[in-house]
Amino acid sequence: MNQPLSLDAPVLEIIERGFQGLYSGELGLSSIKGGQTTADSALETLDITGYASKRSEVLPKSRRGASVLSPYIRHNLLTLAQVHRAVKTAPYKDREKFQDELYWQEYARHLYARIGTRLFENLRFEANAKSQGDGWNRDMKCVDEVVSELETDGWLVNQTRMWLASHWTVRNNIGWLHGQDRMYQELIDGSRAANLLGWQWTVGAGTGKPYGFARWQVEKRAPGLCNQCQFSNACPIQEFPEEVSLNRIDVDSLLEHDLDPEKTSGPSTALKTDSPKYVLLTIDSMGDKDPALVANPDLPVVFVFNEEALRKLQLSSRRIGFYLETLQDLAQRRNLQVHLGNPYEFAKVNPVAVTFAPVPSFKKFTNLAEIHPYPWLQKPHSGSVKSFSAWRKSK
Ligand SMILES: Cc1cc2nc3c(=O)[nH]c(=O)nc-3n(C[C@H](O)[C@H](O)[C@H](O)COP(=O)(O)OP(=O)(O)OC[C@H]3O[C@@H](n4cnc5c(N)ncnc54)[C@H](O)[C@@H]3O)c2cc1C
């Protein structure tokens, strides 16, 4: 049953009132605000000068070179193509590095679109995926500092995501799947595609070469942090973890070749079977330029929070807050109705226009009146997705 949810209150109040039992952790919001308006101004002021040398800096925050665009990119408030274009006059080295990272995001989307839930299993090498436990010992200052940032802001630079994933599995030998879930609960840019890829690559399941995290990276990327640690003179991660060689898994033919790339990509022009009465937005496309939204400028817009999924996933209130801020912003320009319930049910009983999303759950939609193409940076091909470089080379 879909219940209407009023956006007419401060976001924290809406969460407290309407999302009881549907989120985990302390109630709070990220300092990174949701909404098309904020996304547009972040893009307008984007300056990636120095990105290539500074993208991995951690502390002090003023040294960081990361763009912090990921929450907007993840929900297609900013498309990868738009961000790619926006840096075309940036210095060569910074532009090359930055655009390469945008392609990593696109690679994650292609991989997930092609192999779906298979991405929840070790891809090419046998890493520890399933052992239970908590791999983040917070008595260490470096771990505590980063986990605290994850919990209060719902966002981390790439470097510290790698620290946390490596510490969890490579050092502490806890299954990466659980660490991945734990991080996914908090990240306001959390996407299964990029998060699973990031964990698989860090722990070595994707490459056979686990990334080692040791004091060395902390001294280099967050100078001064170790001096604040109680273990400063007896650091448990003074040395890199022992190098291990992971057993290779027979490569799935789906990684080498896609027999149906058209199905993987979704439609390349709008598919229409009925006259829609609503535009339905999904988590994968919440921007003003959502293709279904643009094609139907006069229709009311609907967003349905998936109650069952939220109950199961127990995302942080920061994530829910980011969605609510985005919806409140959109409501200033479009006639928007928000519900708590089941988006698939809504689409089954109402004729809706929706934008294709390259994720396994999109298959749960039936009876769609209009399906609009997904805004790919590059259309999925049928060649290898075994590695980033193989994917880039394939046509
Ligand atoms: C363990 C782990 C988990 C991750 N989980 C997520 C996730 O859930 N969602 C997510 O969007 N990214 C994820 N990443 C990728 C990356 O860390 C973030 O996209 C990046 O840190 C976001 O910060 P930014 O926008 O400042 O990036 P910038 O460095 O400014 O890069 C610009 C954009 O390029 C893309 N990008 C950059 N680095 C990567 C990368 N390594 N892989 C894929 N795309 C990249 C992102 O869209 C990013 O917004 C993960 C990486 C790791 C190692």
How do the pLDDT tens digits run along the chain, 395 residues long?
A: 789 999 999 999 999 999 999 999 999 999 999 999 999 999 999 999 999 999 999 999 999 999 999 999 999 999 999 999 999 999 999 999 999 999 999 999 999 999 999 999 999 999 999 999 999 999 999 999 999 999 999 999 999 999 999 999 999 999 999 999 999 999 999 999 999 999 999 999 999 999 999 999 999 999 999 999 999 999 999 999 999 999 999 988 999 999 999 999 999 999 999 999 999 999 999 999 999 999 999 999 999 999 999 999 999 999 999 999 999 999 999 999 999 999 999 999 999 999 999 999 999 999 999 999 999 999 999 999 999 999 999 97
Q: Does residue 112 share a domain with residue 88?
A: yes
Distance CA 113, CA 246 (A): 26
Quick check: 395 and 383 in contact, CB under 8 A? Answer: yes
Q: Does residue 78 share a domain with residue 43?
A: yes
Task: Tell me which of 58, 67, 82, 101 to substitute to probe ligand 1's pocket, judged by most ligand atoms within 8 Å of the beta carbon.
Answer: 101
Distance CA 154, CA 152 (A): 6
| Domain enclosing residue 356, as ranges | 3-30+267-372
pLDDT of amino acid 72: 99
Quick check: 197 and 189 in contact, CB under 8 A? Answer: no
Q: Does residue 58 share a domain with residue 19?
A: no
DSSP per residue over 4-46, as a string? E----S-HHHHHHHH-TTS-BSS----SS--SHHHHHHHHHT-
Name the residue with the closest Cα to ligand 1, atom 6: 195
pLDDT of amino acid 395: 73
Name the residue with the closest Cα to ligand 1, atom 37: 101
CA angle 35, 41, 47 (to 5 degrees): 130
> Is 385 inside any structural domain?
no
Q: Residue 277 is which amino acid?
A: K
Q: Does residue 11 share a domain with residue 98?
A: no
Contacts of 197 (CB under 8 A, 6+ apart): 104, 107, 108, 111, 112, 119, 206
Say how many Å lie between the CA of residue 180 and the centre of ligand 1: 14
Cα of 238 vs its chain's centroid, Å = 31
Q: Among candidates 1, 23, 2, which has minimal Cα distance to 11?
A: 23
Q: Does residue 19 share a domain with residue 91?
A: no
pLDDT of amino acid 312: 98
Structurally, the chain folds into a number of domains equal to 2
Contacts of 184 (CB under 8 A, 6+ apart): 190, 192, 195, 313, 315
Say how many Å lie between the CA of residue 264 and the centre of ligand 1: 22
* CATH number of the structural domain spanning residue 105: 1.25.40.80
Phi, psi at residue 179, to the nearest 5°? -65, -40
> Is 151 inside any structural domain?
no
> Is 107 inside any structural domain?
yes
Residue whose pair of structure tokens reads 């056979």 in the numeric block: 208
Quick check: 211 and 172 in contact, CB under 8 A? Answer: no
pLDDT of amino acid 227: 98
> Is 328 inside any structural domain?
yes
Contacts of 205 (CB under 8 A, 6+ apart): 122, 123, 124, 125, 126, 127, 129, 176, 199, 246
Say how many Å lie between the CA of residue 155 and the centre of ligand 1: 10
> Is 97 inside any structural domain?
yes
Q: Does residue 311 share a domain with residue 275?
A: yes
Task: Tell me which of 105, 110, 182 to substitute to probe ligand 1's pocket, judged by most ligand atoms within 8 Å of the beta carbon.
Answer: 105
- Tell me the CA distances in angstroms from 34 to 11, 19, 124, 322, 363, one per residue in order: 11, 18, 36, 5, 27
Q: Which of residues 85, 120, 155 is at a domain's end?
A: 120
> Is 214 inside any structural domain?
no
Task: Tell me which of 107, 150, 158 to substitute to probe ligand 1's pocket, judged by most ligand atoms within 8 Å of the beta carbon.
Answer: 158
Q: Does residue 20 share a domain with residue 51?
A: no
Q: Does residue 89 share a domain with residue 25?
A: no
Ligand 1 nearest atom to the CA of residue 80, by list position = 47
Q: Among candidates 284, 279, 375, 281, which has minimal Cα distance to 75?
A: 284
Q: Does residue 75 share a domain with residue 8?
A: no
pLDDT of amino acid 252: 84
Quick check: 102 and 392 in contact, CB under 8 A? Answer: no
Helix (H) / strand (E) containing 281: strand 278-281
Name the residue with the closest Cα to ligand 1, atom 47: 70
pTM over 0.85: yes
Instruction: Identify whether 358 is preceded by a cis peptide bond (ω within 30 of 0).
Output: no
Q: Does residue 115 share a domain with residue 52?
A: yes
> Is 285 inside any structural domain?
yes
* CATH number of the structural domain spanning residue 295: 3.40.50
> Is 190 inside any structural domain?
no
Say how many Å lie between the CA of residue 66 and the centre of ligand 1: 9
Contacts of 373 (CB under 8 A, 6+ apart): 266, 267, 268, 269, 270, 291, 355, 356
Pocket of ligand 1 (CB under 6 A): 55, 66-70, 73-74, 101-102, 104-105, 108, 157-158, 161-162, 165, 187, 189-191, 194-195, 198-199, 202
Q: Does residue 315 share a domain with residue 293?
A: yes
